[in-house]
């Protein structure tokens, strides 16, 4: 990004420094649910997560840093509009102590104006690169990949509990990813 837009890369550096410790907030919540560090660290990513990683890596090679910023725009937009409601629902179902990390993350993103920061970076990058189509194509693909993630998450949690079959198929996360798409 430095070669594409120096000022944007300075903002990006601040943003990524903020984000790098957020996993600790969610790890804290998982501990409240009884997960040990060993369990957390030993759990393989869902196939949909692996597909997302492959897509992001490929897209970074194709269009550069716009990929990472598009990903952040997607997640910060969702955080700005939806995360507080999701955390409230989870708190109602579990307890305040079970979502303390997630709630802290929501407040942090709001207070740090992450969505506005990412919009600013995106506007500068797209303006320099003059390639809105690459941004919109990436955002559409990210939406598809996140839908697949939430479907798989449902399938391996609620969906598995709802199955009545005596010999259920292995969950997608337990199968080796044969073909990574898109």
The Cα–Cα gap between 161 and 171 comes to 11
Prediction pTM value: 0.81
The Cα–Cα gap between 41 and 93 comes to 25
Mean pLDDT per 10-residue interval, the chain, length 182 residues: 84 90 94 96 96 97 93 94 95 96 93 92 83 92 97 90 58 48 47
Enter the tokens of residue 114.
Answer: 């992450």
The Cα–Cα gap between 101 and 125 comes to 32
Q: What pLDDT shows up at residue 109?
A: 87
Name the helix (H) or strand (E) containing 147.
helix 132-156
Q: What pLDDT shows up at residue 103?
A: 96
Q: What pLDDT shows up at residue 106?
A: 93
């Amino acid at each position: 990004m430095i070669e594409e837009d120096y000022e944007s890369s300075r903002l990006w550096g601040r943003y990524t420094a903020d984000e790098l410790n957020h996993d600790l907030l969610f790890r804290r919540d998982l501990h409240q649910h009884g997960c040990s560090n060993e369990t957390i660290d030993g759990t393989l990513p869902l196939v949909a997560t692996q597909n997302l990683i492959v897509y992001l890596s490929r897209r970074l090679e194709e269009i550069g840093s716009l990929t990472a910023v598009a990903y952040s725009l997607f997640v910060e937009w969702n955080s700005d509009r939806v995360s507080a409601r999701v955390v409230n629902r989870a708190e109602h179902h579990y307890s305040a102590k079970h979502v303390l990390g997630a709630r802290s993350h929501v407040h942090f993103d709001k207070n740090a104006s992450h969505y506005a920061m990412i919009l600013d970076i995106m506007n500068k990058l797209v303006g320099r690169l003059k390639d809105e189509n690459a941004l919109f194509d990436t955002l559409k693909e990210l939406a598809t990949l996140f839908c697949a993630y939430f479907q798989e998450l449902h399938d391996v949690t609620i969906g598995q509990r709802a199955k009545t079959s005596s010999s259920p198929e292995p969950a997608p996360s337990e199968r080796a990813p044969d073909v990574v798409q898109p």
